[in-house]
Amino acid sequence: MKVLLFNIENKKSIEIKNLCRKLNIEYTDVDKSDFGYKIEYILNLSDDKSFIENSDFDGEMLLMVDLSEGILDLFLSLLRKKKCTVALKAVLTETNRKFTSYELYSEISKEHEYMQKGERFHQA
Containing 62, the helix (H) or strand (E) segment is strand 61-65
Contacts of 70 (CB under 8 A, 6+ apart): none
pLDDT tens track of the chain, all 124 residues?
Answer: 999 999 999 999 999 999 999 999 999 999 999 999 999 999 999 999 999 998 999 999 999 999 999 999 999 999 999 999 999 999 999 999 999 999 999 999 988 787 777 766 555 5
3-state secondary structure of 61: strand
Phi–psi pair at 57, nearest 5 degrees: -150, 160
User: What pLDDT does 90 receive?
Assistant: 96
User: What pLDDT does 121 receive?
Assistant: 55
User: What pLDDT does 77 receive?
Assistant: 97
Listed in sequence order, the DSSP H helices in the chain are 10-22, 39-42, 69-81, 101-116
